[in-house]
Structure 1
Amino acid sequence: MSSKIDQERDGVTLGHQFTPTMHRQVYPAIKATNRNLSAAGKTVLITGATRGIGKAIAVAWAQAGASSIVITGRAENLLKEVSDELKKISPKTKILALKSEATSEEDAKKVWAKVQEVVGIIDVLICNAGIFSEGRNGLPVTGLIEPSLWWSDLETNVRGPYLQIYHFLQQKLVQNQKPKGTVIILSSAAASFTMPGMSSYALSKLAGARQAEFLHVEHEGVRAFSLHPGIVPTTISPELFQKQAVDPPEMAGGLSLYLATPKAEFLRGSYITVNWDVEEMERNAEEIKEKRLLKTAFLNGQLRPEGHHFEGKI
């Protein structure tokens, strides 16, 4: 482990650990200033980049020297603040800040039309914009949460990313070319467990992980990943996880840079979290690929022609 374990702080993360080493701070392999993570010559679009994780991802790409960074969000004043900060970090990077509502199809069209006009082709799409309505409302269980509020998480966290992914793919499809580039969808460890009061959020984040898998099999030129940013102290973190929320958003920024490099090829279509050690995963790349260790599974049972192998009697 990378540091002394504190069960009260690390319990949830430890229970979701894939590599022997658990990280809860930025480490050299995913540090934005690591020369191996250079974003020189790359263009990136990040949704929901006005604060927290989205902002940290944008800052990481500026630190890595991206040629162009497009950020979207709902608050114009915050977009300007982040835009100004990015320009100071990397004066040579072209910065485009666009107001956009995550679930608006019309806004998505306008964003990508402006991107085509000012930036051109986007190489990396990072779908970060998301909400956790149940967490802000005391984690009401099914039947106690209003249908419109329950649905809002799926609307934002599933439809929102798809609107961006659609236009990302259209960059090439309209030219009768095969889409290529990198798509990173922000997911959550919540997609992997069942806990009262998190049905809408967990379902929406599982959908994000599955979307990355579908992109992987549907478009051979698209490098798709779903990324759990850790338990980050943000405005949508429920009180239940406050003591666990110690992962800095910069970890997601650094990992997004890593996923955009050739080193991450073995992880295409996979679910990854910031707490796992990327170098330890690299050393086991073949097993991870062959056994589909980081892909979602429908059931724990073995579904095959001869049926599941039962240890008891049939």
Structure 2
Amino acid sequence: MNVKGKTALITGASRGIGRAIALALAQQGIHRLLLVARNPQRLQEVADEIEAMGVEAIPLVVDLSDRIQTNVVLSQAWRDFGPVHLLVNCAGVAHQAPFLQSKLLHVQEEIAINLMGMYGVTRLIGRRMASQQSGTIVNVASLMGKVAAPTMATYSATKFAILGFTQAIRGELAAHNIRVMSLLPSLTDTDMVRDLEWFRWAVPMTSEQVAEALIRGLNRDADEIIVGWQGRLAVWCNRLMPWVLEKTLQFAAPKFEDRSRPEYHFRHAGDTSL
């Protein structure tokens, strides 16, 4: 896909991988960027940075877990700024905890934003792309959508679902001249993951490296873009020796206090958090 002169909509554009993708597209000569995120201050900062590069940037403050707000704002943006040629679904959240210590509110947030938010945006923009018989959709998943990781059960589940969703609609939307791609970064050094306990031996990549991989994938119209040697190695190992990879991940996973023990519940009987 040649992005010159095109319009792209990027969710999760205020920081991390979403911000890096927006800047990379601006460097490639894209005409207009519709930037979607929840934080108005950060979003405006990214928009200002892109405008300084000579590219039109439109900040759209949207909480993707709010379906009505999402539909209203994005529908209005399509009417005001014209067709979207490239959609990049990058918004996501991650909460880390052993399964038995997981909190329902965190689980609901991950599903609402990572999965349902992505689904809603894709449905709204995809229908409009179908009417114009052209478009490209990139769903940012994760290596954890191929290889599930201990302490990240719900996050892994949403990323597995994103890959399944992407594969399912790829054939359907091809009939409308719409390409559907997935981007699978491994551990990336962003604000989100800095709050997590990292796995042993994991070497983080930068958001800029992920964005560069996406640009290369767009240029060759790849269906799936696995970013970095660690990701390719893990996927290869999972295909050939899944039991080895599973044992390795169990050993490499960060250790948390075992709150499932009866004595823990006795000491923390007053904890009513979900």
Structure 2 length normalisation: TM-score?
A: 0.77
Stretches of structure 1 that go unaligned for 5 or more consecutive residues are 1-36, 277-292, 301-314
Partner of 2:214: 256
| 1:134-283 mapped onto 2 (5 Å cutoff) | 134=96, 139-141=97-99, 143-173=100-130, 177=131, 179-220=133-174, 221-237=177-193, 238-241=196-199, 244-261=202-219, 263-264=220-221, 267-268=222-223, 270=224, 272-275=225-228
Question: Take 2:25 and 2:78, find their aligned partners in 1: how far apart are those partners?
Answer: 20
Q: Provide the C-alpha distance between the structure 1 equivalents of 2:2 and 2:178, rounded to a whole number of angstroms.
A: 20
Shift of 1:243: 6.3
Kindly tell me the number of residue pairs found equivalent between the two proteins.
230
Q: Decide whether the 8 Å contact of 1:39 with 1:257 is kept in 2.
A: no
Q: Distance in 1 between matches of 2:207 and 2:12?
A: 13
Q: Which residue of 2 aligns with 1:129?
A: 91
Aligned equivalents of 1:150 and 1:257: distance in 2?
32
Structure 1 equivalent of residue 71 of structure 2: 109
Superimposed CA distance per residue, residues 147-172 of structure 1 (whole angstroms, 9 cap, x where no aligned partner): 23223212211101111101112214
Asked if the contact 1:215/1:222 (under 8 Å) is kept, the reply is: no
Residue 40 (structure 1) aligns with: 4
SS of the equivalent of 2:216 reads helix
- Check whether the contact 2:210–2:227 (CA below 8 A) recurs between aligned residues: yes
**Matched residues in 1 for 2:136 and 2:115: separation?**
18
Q: Secondary structure at the match of 1:125?
A: strand
> Percent identity, aligned pairs only?
24
Please give the alpha-carbon distance, in whole angstroms, between the structure 1 residues aligned to 2:26 and 2:129.
25
Question: Which whole-Å CA distance do the structure 2 matches of 1:60 and 1:260 have between them?
Answer: 12
Cα distance, 1:38–1:123 mapped onto 2, change above 3 Å: closer
Q: State the AA in 1 paired with 2:128.
A: Q
What is the CA–CA distance in structure 2 between the aligned matches of 1:94 and 1:112, rounded to whole Å? 17
Q: Which runs of 5 or more residues in structure 2 are unaligned?
A: 230-234, 243-274
Larger fraction in helix: 2
Which whole-Å CA distance do the structure 1 matches of 2:41 and 2:116 have between them?
Answer: 25
User: Secondary structure of 1:109's match?
Assistant: helix
Which of the residues 48, 56, 59 maps onto 1:84? 48
List per-residue Cα deviations over 1:245-268 (Å, max 9, x = no partner).
43111122222223333x22xx33
Answer whether contact 2:50 2:56 (CA < 8 A) is retained. Answer: no
Query: 1:202-229: CA deviations, max 9, x gaps?
Result: 0100111111111211111221111112
| 1:16-27 paired onto structure 2 within 5 Å | none
Counterpart-to-counterpart distance in 1, 2:129 and 2:46: 29
The alignment's C-alpha RMSD in Å is 2.4
Counterpart residue number, 2:248? none
SS of the equivalent of 1:133 reads coil
CA contact (8 A) 2:129 2:178 kept: no
TM-score in terms of structure 1 length: 0.67
Question: What does residue 31 of structure 1 align with?
Answer: none
Partner residue, 1:285: none
Q: Corresponding residue for 2:20?
A: 56
